[in-house]
Structure formats: C-alpha cells, structure tokens
Amino acid sequence: MTIQLVLVEPAGPLNVGSVARLCANFGIAGLRLVAPRCDPLGEEARRMAVHGVGLLERATTYPSLAAAIADCCRVVATSGRGEGEPLVPSPPAEALRWLLPAAGGEATPQPVALVFGREDRGLSNDELLQAGRILQIATGPAYTSLNLSHAVAVVLHELQGLRDAAPGRLEPATPVAAAGQAADSGDDPCPRGLLEAALSDAEALLLEVGYLYPHTAHARMAKLRGLLQRAQIRPQEVALLRGMVCQLRWASRRPCASGEDH
C-alpha cells in the first residue's frame, strides 16, 4: 500500500514546498497536485522543500480530483467547515485508522489517498463526496481555519503515530459505524475511477429514461454518490450495478415485438 498526498489547486508555492518537506519527514512517497495555481517547482517551493525537493520534482499533476484519485481505493478528505458536510466528519485518528490496513491484514495493492483542499475555500461538496471519510481537525471555536501546511503536519503526525503502533494494537476503524456511515468490513472499497464510471453510466441511463432531468440531475446524483460512499461499495458490487444498468439500457431500447403488451 502506498499513501498519496493530494493537494487540490494549491495557490501558495511556500505551502507546496512545506508539504513536500512534511512528506519527506513522515515517509509519504507520493505527492499529487490537482491543477496547481502556482509554480510547484519554482524557487520559493524549492526553498521550503529542503530535503523534500526530490519528492517535489517527482510530484504528478492532474486536471481534476477525480483523475488524481481514480486508482485509489480508500480516500480521506479534510475539511474544516464544521457543518453542512455531505458525509459525517470523523476525528483524525478514526479516519486514518480506516485508511490503513488493520492489524494482521494484508496491505491493499491499490494506493490510498489523503486529500487537502484549497487554501482559501477548501474542498467543494462534490469533491468531498469522492472520499470515503471526511477528516476534521479539532480547533478552537474563535478561528477554525488552519494554514494548509499546518493541517498537513497535524494529520501526518497523527498518521505516523498509528503506523508506529505495535502490530497487535492497530485496530480496524470503529466496529460500530458512525451515524450515516457503514461499518468497515475490512475489504477494500472499489477504486474511485470504477465507481465514477458506474455512476456516469447510471446517470446517462436515468436521463435517457426520464427519471432524471438535466436541471436536477446533479443534485440527485450527489445523493446517490453519498449513499454509495456510506455503503463503501466493493468492486464486485460495482460490477453488479454496471451489469444492471447495461441490461436496463438494452431493455429500454428494445423495440416491442408485434403482439406484446405495451
């Protein structure tokens, strides 16, 4: 299992460089940048990265969050809004335990991802719905927003503590599910790209048969995405869903034979 740290539209080169340094500090081998709004290889970023310059140079860029996490089976996204979240937020330890394999379990071959949002406005609801868990850092009520690199430092410090735990002590994430979230069975959810492809197929069919309308499709599909995220849908279940959609599309386009009921 490899952990990928994903920054969505970072605007500050000092922050990007600091995050690269933190990745080097805490043994995170992968840095992914979604549509960066600064030069991640510029002088300021390099100066802050120090021994993380190599990781900065190897960082990969993507046009969207969906593309950046398409191969990831478990995704934790961070948010500091405190209300109006599309999924129930979890404290860092709980969300990160879910990200890591349980004691005695085999590491997943797919990467997992930690996602951090924009410095000025974080992640949108649509982006948060692409994560299996939303992580929230506890802060004082007067000023809840953390600097991007500070938030990364807090989360990676917590993650390192869990990774350093004795083999017999790292437990699966909460055997009883939090409100609105399914308990974790230990099996990996399907890679994000497969689920998004299935949802795209379903949306096209539902528009075609008139269940969805163009002006309401986005909101309704967001509810369906949230439902499937809470269920932590597995690869075989996504295959079942896509098979159903394919068969329903075939049936909806099949001309009625003469003599059949209409």
Dump pLDDT digits (tens) for 172-182: 444 434 444 55
Q: Is residue 206 part of a domain?
A: yes
My answer on whether 111 and 18 are in the same domain is yes
Beta strand extents in 106-238 (DSSP E only): 112-116, 133-135
Q: What is the mean pLDDT of the chain?
A: 84
Residue 143 has what pLDDT? 82
Percent of the chain residues past pLDDT 90, beyond the cut: 47
My answer on whether 89 and 214 are in the same domain is no
Q: What is the mean pLDDT of residues 7-14?
A: 96
Dump pLDDT digits (tens) for 142-178: 887 889 999 999 999 999 999 888 454 444 444 434 4
Dump pLDDT digits (tens) for 243-259: 888 888 888 888 765 55
Query: Cα–Cα distance between 129 and 251 in angstroms, integer?
Result: 31
Q: Is residue 258 part of a domain?
A: no
Any idea what the CATH number is for the domain that residue 55 is in?
A: 3.40.1280.10
Cα dihedral value 60, 63, 65, 71, nearest 10 = -60
Dump pLDDT digits (tens) for 15-44: 999 999 999 999 999 999 999 999 999 999
Task: Tell me which residue has tokens 């049936």.
Answer: 251
My answer on whether 122 and 199 are in the same domain is no
Any idea what the CATH number is for the domain that residue 217 is in?
A: 1.10.8
Residue 176 has what pLDDT? 37
Query: Cα–Cα distance between 148 and 168 in angstroms, integer?
Result: 33
My answer on whether 41 and 121 are in the same domain is yes
Could you write out the three-class secondary structure of 123-151?
A: CCHHHHCCCCEEECCCCCCCCCCCCHHHH
Dump pLDDT digits (tens) for 53-106: 999 999 999 999 999 999 999 999 998 765 656 678 899 999 999 998 644 445
Query: Cα–Cα distance between 128 and 226 in angstroms, integer?
Result: 9
The partner residues of 31 in beta bridges, in order of sequence, read 5
- Provide the domain count of the chain: 2
**pTM to 2 decimal places:** 0.81
Residue 38 has what pLDDT? 96
Residue 175 has what pLDDT? 40
Domain that holds residue 197: 192-253
Query: Cα–Cα distance between 236 and 66 in angstroms, integer?
Result: 21
Q: Is residue 259 part of a domain?
A: no
Q: What is the mean pLDDT of residues 132-143?
A: 88
My answer on whether 53 and 153 are in the same domain is yes
Residue 166 has what pLDDT? 45
pLDDT at 204 over 70: yes
202 Cβ contact partners less than 8 Å away, ≥ 6 residues apart: 221, 224, 241, 245
